[in-house]
Amino acid sequence: MTSPSAPSPEKIFPVSWDQFHRDCRALTWRLNGIGPFAAVIGITRGGLVPATIVARELGVRMIDTVCVVSYEHQTQGELTLLKPPSEQTMALGGGTGKGLLIVDDLVDTGKTARVVRDLLPDAHFATVYAKPMGKPLVDTFITEVSQDTWIFFPWDTGLAFQPPLRDGSA
């Protein structure tokens, strides 16, 4: 990822479907004692998969989305709020998000998290992965990675041969 406020990625962290699912379940274990939650709100697009897994594991049937655009492949640009939570979901959270769970795959610089936090200041915010710049904006996460790490999520990659590290490929 490159952006004016964040360093260029120096480290690559590929995450498999299996690992991501385990990390989402681990996130759910941490969240289990915090709820109950009236609804889960996934931040699109990356938060949709973990929101689905977390909602399933917690037994939450009300799932909504907040649609925010900030990335184009590996470049972070201006933030655009495309869709806030529905009026019904907002009402469940008393207009401030109390009793609601926001889920995203990653908090990076915190720009997206700040927009969503401003919409739902009392919601519980959970991410699977967190980078130092965004970590203060989330309540619960599983794995911290350095700010200069780019995470390749399973939906971003395909199976391919990986040469050994000693060959200088990584």
Burial class of 143 by CB neighbour count within 10 A (0 to 12, 13 to 18, 19+): middle
Is residue 81 within a helix (H) or strand (E), and if so which, with residue range? strand 75-83
Q: Which of 18, 104, 148, 167 is catalytic?
A: 104
Catalytic status, residue 122: no
> How far apart, in whole angstroms, are the C-alpha atoms of residue 53 and residue 87?
24
User: Could you give the angle at which helices 17-32 and 48-58 cross, rounded to 10 degrees?
Assistant: 50
Q: Which of 23, 64, 108, 156 is catalytic?
A: 108
Catalytic status, residue 105: yes
Q: Which of 18, 105, 139, 156 is catalytic?
A: 105
Q: How far is CA 137 from the centre of its chain?
A: 12
Our CA angle for 84, 15, 156, nearest 5°, is 60
**What are the residue numbers of the active site?**
104-105, 108
